[in-house]
Amino acid sequence: MKNKYVVGIDEAGRGPLAGPVTIAAVAGSAGRILKGIKDSKKLSVKKREIWRKIIKNNFEYHCVFVSHKKIDKIGIQKSAHLGIQKVLEKFSKKANLVLLDGLLKAPKKYKQKTIIKGDEKIPLISAASIIAKVARDKKMLAFHKKFPQYCFDKHKGYGTKLHYKKIKKHGLCPIHRRTFLKKVL
């Protein structure tokens, strides 16, 4: 199919104890521009920022956050699905094909393919993983300024020893996912 409008989708923040889940989508043809791109988890902060600028200058992309409150209300899986639906609606035209990482699924009206470890194999999904990770990390740094006692700048809300130690000392803050912390409560 000539002039195929392909969108790659990935998320960041499925497992943390605090903050949103972030869904990002990048549309276009990967070509030479994304040669050498990797999954965001395999890149340094500096390299992610370099790739983010390349993506920003060469692709249509969008990112949405689904809040900790929504995650607590409907669960992480439904929250990710909601985020995918919302991010796809932001594009200038409907995708001919949606490529998703892991176990993610787009709404049924889209032709789609889910690829296990897609963020390692498919450049558009790798690009989406970078956009999602950078956006979520920036959001968590903003939360760190609001709640510095939790050290969100260090662990970004993930369940590290430091994070659990801070929760035990200070209790939960407004951005903690209560459903992820039932044992702690």
Short-list 13, 18, 22, 21, CA closest to 147: 18
- Which of 10-14, 33-37, 147-151, 177-181 comes out lowest in average pLDDT? 33-37
Residue 121 CA neighbour count, 13 Å, CB half: 10
- Is 156 part of a structural domain of the chain? yes
Domain annotation covers residue 97: yes
Q: Which residue has the higher pLDDT, 2 or 169?
A: 169
CATH number for the domain that contains residue 43: 3.30.420.10
pLDDT digits (tens, 9 = 90+) for 24-70: 999 987 667 898 898 899 999 999 999 999 999 999 999 999 999 99
Domain membership of residue 185 (yes or no) is no
Strand order in the sheet with 6-12: 60-66, 21-27, 6-12, 97-101, 112-115
Bridge partners for 56 per DSSP: none
Within a domain: 17: yes
Residue 5: pLDDT band (50, 70, 90) is confident
Distance of CA 72 to the CA centre of its chain: 17
* pLDDT of 4 strictly over 90: no
Residue 100: pLDDT over 80: yes
Would residue 28 count as lying in a domain?
A: yes
- Determine, yes or no, domain membership for 94: yes
pTM over 0.85: yes
Please indicate, yes or no, if residue 1 is contained in any of the structural domains.
no
Residue 114's pLDDT band, with cuts at 50, 70 and 90, is very high
In the prediction, which pLDDT does 2 show?
52
On the question of pLDDT at 103 being above 60, the answer is: yes
Q: What pLDDT score does 1 carry?
A: 45
Could you tell me the pLDDT band of residue 121, with boundaries at 50, 70 and 90?
A: very high
Q: Is 37 helix (H, G, I), strand (E, B) or coil?
A: coil
The gap from C-alpha 181 to its chain's centroid, in whole angstroms, comes to 21
- Expressed as residue numbers, the domain containing 56 is 6-180
pLDDT of 182 over the 60 cut: yes
Choose among 111, 124, 116, 108: nearest CA to 33: 124
Across the chain, mean pLDDT equals: 94
pLDDT at 11: 97
Looking at the domain assignment, is residue 140 inside a domain?
Answer: yes
Which of these, 153, 161, 168, lies nearest to 19 by C-alpha position? 153
Provide the number of structural domains found in the chain: 1
DSSP secondary structure code for residue 100 in this structure: E
